[in-house]
Structure 1
Amino acid sequence: MDATTTRRGRTRSQLARTQLTRSLVAATALALVVTGCGSSSSKSGGNAAQSAVPRLNATDINPQPVSALKPGGELREPLQQWIDQWNPYQVDGTYGDSVEIMKMIEPLLFRIDASGTFQPVPEFLQSATVVSTSPQVVLYKLNPKARWSDGKPLSYLDFKAVWQADNGSNPAYNAASTNGYNQISDVAQGSDPTQVKVTFSTPFADWQSLFYPLLPAAGISTPDDFNKGWVEKVPITGGAFKIGSQDKSAQTITVVPDPNWWGDKPVLDKFTYRALSSSAITQAFLNNEIDYASAGNANAYGQLKGDADAVIRTAGPWDEVHISFGSNGALADQSVRQALGKAIDRTALIKVMSQGVPVTFPELGNHVFMTNQTGYQDNSGQWGKFDPAAAGQLLTQAGWQDAGAGKPRTKNGQPLELHFIVAAGSSQQTLDMTAAVQNMLGQVGVKLDVDKVPDNDLDEKYINVGKFDLATWRNTGSFPPSLILPFYQQPTGDNVYQNFSKLSTPEIDSLLKQAASTLDPAAAAKLYNQADAKIWELGHTLEIYQRPQVTAFRKGLANFGAPGLADVDYTKVGWQK
């Protein structure tokens, strides 16, 4: 990763976008997150593109007709960590790389285009229509050729199983998100076996983001199957591809075409994924071991732009970098979290993160919308404003007394000492950022330790369980906006959804859910912005910037690159003749 982990809401992936929300790209580096492929003109040649602030629908994927591609071949991709949980609906399955692979091997009912619009994928879905608004009813018409790898046709039973696992009614299903599913009242067969009728108890504007991808009822019908049946294995597939091999010792995974696929034959013979630390990805590209690498920091950009076999592609996706605050110890006090936000100079951090990369990194004032997205407004207000004096006042009011220059504040004899958790394989860019934060907080009397932990432990042992004071990752692909709900909703028992800080309020919860149920986009945006202002005030997350995709790809790679909002059609990815 490049400067942070990614979640789908987190993205770690080099290619991450999924229904469940944002992807987490953790703090090993700000890695490339490719969320899909669209259809705009590509940049060619070995020189880096000099990009302005990317537009919402900008894509850069070298679009080519299949007739212009060589049949067969391989795409070699970096994998930022080994995949343990393949179920993208399970709380541990939101890692971006695994989600993206699941969209290759399981039914993807809709594919998002370059404008951010959901388009039915005809191999799975002939149509999907809102046939009633009171109550809201959606009728899906499935392609009768669509089959699971166990031979069963896709049916309403699969939709029903996903709904029942993800609607929150049974806490034994450790769901990453109940968003949208908890607003469904019934899933039933329509007039024939190819029809699925989904009825909502309350309106859900982003219904097309559900069942994305679809999973088989046979694989998730019990909590045990849902939580454990996809650990280091994929029991049933239903797409153009399948898992070819998984070699944990070599840290490699291959994805190959499924000979039973009923659609157009994929161009490539194989996709090979190899787990690499972020620090190794650049050199692996230069050694011709992988076919793309992030160029989103000065060191990587400087090395990759001059490679004769590389082309730099850029686009503007839903991709944000932030610092999350924990809720333990001193940080259980909202005033302390607010003080940290005021003590951190976001503009200075952006200069650190973007140095040497000729692309604008826009400062971000919103948790829901990107700067170039309809509905965006800067809600950071006083909570995102760099004001060390005000930070000091908040800490004093919270009982943390100034102990003098260079010394941490104290309360009841205890020093104000916090921990910033990062992966051991973090890029220099990330380490520079954490060092800058360490210095900034030191100026207001907060001692900040930077703790390096094993890359593969960062999520499972730290972020996922809320064992951090400060942590950084990238949330990616949170479009449409209802996908952000799990990051800020109130935890239910041990299930924190993807709210790893475990911070929320009933008001934030209510506003976000109202917005997701509002069919009018302008009215929904108003509610989302009201919730966002409260998230800033809560001291949950300090947004820093919207991260553009800046990536080096092997020359000749077509229909793949920096796609912005769009999804990848992997059947058309290949090498030019």
Structure 2
Amino acid sequence: MRHRALPAAIALAALSTGLLAGCGANEATPATGGSARAGGTLYVLSDRATNLFDPGKSSSLPITSLGLVHRRLTAWDAAPGKTTTVVPDLATDTGKVSDGGKTWTYTLRDGLKFSDGSPITSADIRWGVERSFTPAFSGGLAYHKALLDSAATYRGPFEGKDLASIETPDDKTIVFHLARAYGDWPWVVSTPAFAPVPKGKGSEATYGEHPVASGPFQVTKYQSGVEIRLERNPNWSRANDPIRTGLPDAVVFQLGQQSSVISKRLIDDSGNDRFAFGLPFVAPAQLAQVQGNAAAKQRVVTSKSGALAYLAINTTRGKLTDPKVRQAFQYAVDKGAYQVASAGSAALAGDIATTLITDGIAGREQFDLYPAPPAGDPAKAKALLAEAGLPNGLDNLVLVASNANDYAAKAQAIQAGLSRAGIKVTIKALDSDAFEEATTGNNPDYDLVLTSWQPDFPSPNANLQPLFATSEIGNGAYNTSRYSSPEVDRLIEEAQSTVDPAAAAKLWAQLDRRIMQDSPVVPLIFTRNSFLHGSGVTGFQIPDFPAYPNYLQVGLNR
């Protein structure tokens, strides 16, 4: 349900940013030559020890690895140069809504089959959703668990109980009854739990190693830490799937690779590595190697934008309870220095952010309530602090940062900028688990948090509600600024319950401005992601959202 842009967030890899000078987003794709053809083996070089193919446990985006094996009720139409939209996948449309936004009905396409040849029915969709409630299969995205009516105490189908808020009147129809109106439900049914699992199956913890597939590929080998092999699902039909090309004969995930080794293999571009791409992102430390190789430089694909990096201000802490004091931080922070600390230069890191809604999401409006040069405006910050009764600034603030992804080093750029405005900060660097506990628990002992956020689906809802709703304070949730505003909570609920997308977008844009007026966070940059692929890979593109390659369109030029 929560996608902080950290290693566990998106089942891809640890976050690092990078952009090659002269390489725009997706610029490299035409340079591969030729066009994608059916056949061949695509290799994915990953530094992860495993990859989850159990839809009940997965947080995978619809366009990445899980989407190769499992289809869902809806999917994302995601490509460069356009706003990502929700589209039908297993269903014939994105949902028919009734009861003021509380009831959503879906009809399945004709002729759908699992990899074992059995038909995919509405009962299988229901079983997959119900299975996700089983405690043993927790860990995946969970928006539906809070939204489906009477689901608070449900513990899955293996206890012999159905979830009453899901109805399957026939094999083709499934109806969801929500506890409240929710306009983004079509996005929710694109999350992993809405992949079909054959009714009665999937009770074993190892189901993800041999799932029954609905997508173009099925898992034929699963060796954690070494290799996962996907091969063609003989019962998948390209004519019945508008989202996936299913071009390769096989997709092989080579696991447990060192990031530096991945980059070297892809730069060398020999053997099977010509038909590979790498995870994680190309790290700044490795960009120099690529820049020195003209051929490799043409095979880097970079996102237009990405996760929002931001500085959260603990709105419950001392003088930070005063909005004017928090507004001073908007001018005190040196965003230009943060760009350099992130990736060596402003061009490499990503554009400076002044809003909360991520670029590439419908409804986003560009504005800047606190205009300042990239280096900030320390004089303006000092003036605001003086107006708030702090002519000598602030002392002894604690800034918490994770040791992962060089956040502790980036925090030094924040520390230096704040110091120029008379704000003295001590950095407290923690390992990933300690960082999560310190910032999302119920006993916050910090003033500032340096972190980032990648929405789970392309709606402003997924930007704003998890970070700023009162309900998301503590208990493992991600409102790390501890921000609570009854007006904002009311507007969030109003926007969520608005079914018309255009009307909802206006409300979310209004919310973006309203939250920024209270200054619970300082937006820093929209981080860019760069990926390197071999010369035989085609169709390798990063949409405007999300900032990850669309696996479902990748083919090989053999």
Please state how far the C-alpha of 1:489 moved relative to its aligned partner.
2.5
Instruction: State whether residues 114 and 214 of structure 2, in contact with CA within 8 Å, keep that contact through their aligned partners in structure 1.
Output: yes
TM-score, with length taken from structure 1? 0.70
Q: Does 1:182 align with 2:147?
A: yes
Q: Distance in 2 between matches of 1:350 and 1:447?
A: 19
| Structure 2 counterpart of 1:433, one-letter code | K
Comparing 316-325 and 289-298, the one that deviates more: 289-298
Question: What CA deviation, in whole Å up to 9, does each residue of 1:232-276 have, x standing for no partner?
Answer: 86766543334455555xx44524126464335651423314346
The within-5 A match list for 1:105-504 is 105-113=69-77, 114=79, 115=82, 116-121=84-89, 124-130=90-96, 132=98, 134=100, 137-143=103-109, 144-147=111-114, 153-156=120-123, 158-159=125-126, 162=129, 176-178=141-143, 182=147, 186-190=165-169, 192-199=170-177, 203-215=181-193, 238-244=214-220, 247=223, 251-257=225-231, 259=233, 261-264=235-238, 266-275=247-256, 282-283=263-264, 285-286=266-267, 291-292=277-278, 299-307=285-293, 308-310=295-297, 311-317=299-305, 319-325=307-313, 333=321, 337-353=326-342, 355=344, 361-370=350-359, 374-378=363-367, 380-381=369-370, 386-389=376-379, 391-392=381-382, 402=392, 409=395, 416-424=396-404, 426-427=405-406, 433-443=410-420, 444-449=422-427, 451=429, 453=431, 457=433, 461=437, 465=441, 469-476=448-455, 478-484=457-463, 485-491=465-471, 495-504=475-484
Instruction: State whether residues 37 and 247 of structure 2, in contact with CA within 8 Å, keep that contact through their aligned partners in structure 1.
Output: no
Please state how far the C-alpha of 1:479 moved relative to its aligned partner.
0.7
Q: Distance in 1 between matches of 2:300 and 2:190?
A: 30
- Partner-residue secondary structure (3-state), 2:510: helix
Structure 2 residue runs of 5 or longer lacking an equivalent are 151-164, 239-245
Instruction: State whether residues 359 and 544 of structure 2, in contact with CA within 8 Å, keep that contact through their aligned partners in structure 1.
Output: no
Question: What CA deviation, in whole Å up to 9, does each residue of 1:34-55 have, x standing for no partner?
Answer: xxxxxxxxxxxxx96544xx6x
Please state how far the C-alpha of 1:344 moved relative to its aligned partner.
0.9
- Partner-residue secondary structure (3-state), 2:143: coil
Structure with the bigger percentage of helix: 2
1:76 corresponds in structure 2 to 44
In structure 2, relative to structure 1, the CA distance for the partners of 1:327 and 1:356 (3 Å cut) is closer
Please state how far the C-alpha of 1:107 moved relative to its aligned partner.
2.1
Question: What CA deviation, in whole Å up to 9, does each residue of 1:338-358 have, x standing for no partner?
Answer: 554442122443355464575
Q: Distance in 1 between matches of 2:280 and 2:130?
A: 36
In structure 2, relative to structure 1, the CA distance for the partners of 1:556 and 1:8 (3 Å cut) is farther
| Structure 2 counterpart of 1:241, one-letter code | F
- Partner-residue secondary structure (3-state), 1:451: strand
Q: Distance in 2 between matches of 1:200 and 1:527?
A: 21
Instruction: State whether residues 111 and 119 of structure 1, in contact with CA within 8 Å, keep that contact through their aligned partners in structure 2.
Output: yes
- Partner-residue secondary structure (3-state), 1:525: helix
Instruction: State whether residues 310 and 522 of structure 2, in contact with CA within 8 Å, keep that contact through their aligned partners in structure 1.
Output: yes
Instruction: State whether residues 486 and 498 of structure 1, in contact with CA within 8 Å, keep that contact through their aligned partners in structure 2.
Output: yes
In structure 2, relative to structure 1, the CA distance for the partners of 1:280 and 1:339 (3 Å cut) is farther
Q: Does 1:29 align with 2:29?
A: no
Please state how far the C-alpha of 1:458 moved relative to its aligned partner.
6.7
Question: What CA deviation, in whole Å up to 9, does each residue of 1:475-527 have, x standing for no partner?
Answer: 25641322222233233696444435543433222212211222344432332
Question: What CA deviation, in whole Å up to 9, does each residue of 1:341-386 have, x standing for no partner?
Answer: 4421224433554645757933222212427855413254489994
Q: Identify the match of residue 103 of structure 1 among 67, 71, 87.
A: 67
Q: Distance in 1 between matches of 2:434 and 2:535?
A: 34
How many residue pairs were aligned?
514
In structure 2, relative to structure 1, the CA distance for the partners of 1:371 and 1:341 (3 Å cut) is farther
Q: Distance in 1 between matches of 2:97 and 2:223?
A: 47
Q: Identify the match of residue 560 of structure 1 among 537, 540, 543.
A: 540
In structure 2, relative to structure 1, the CA distance for the partners of 1:436 and 1:220 (3 Å cut) is farther
TM-score, with length taken from structure 2? 0.72
Q: Distance in 2 between matches of 1:535 and 1:230?
A: 43
- Partner-residue secondary structure (3-state), 1:544: strand
Instruction: State whether residues 77 and 292 of structure 1, in contact with CA within 8 Å, keep that contact through their aligned partners in structure 2.
Output: yes
Question: What CA deviation, in whole Å up to 9, does each residue of 1:86-117 have, x standing for no partner?
Answer: 77777xx54x6899333333223333222322
Please state how far the C-alpha of 1:278 moved relative to its aligned partner.
5.9
In structure 2, relative to structure 1, the CA distance for the partners of 1:198 and 1:234 (3 Å cut) is same
Structure 1 residue runs of 5 or longer lacking an equivalent are 1-6, 17-21, 33-46, 410-415
Comparing 433-442 and 538-547, the one that deviates more: 538-547
| Structure 2 counterpart of 1:71, one-letter code | G
Please state how far the C-alpha of 1:287 moved relative to its aligned partner.
5.6
Q: Distance in 2 between matches of 1:527 and 1:481?
A: 10
Comparing 379-388 and 430-439, the one that deviates more: 379-388
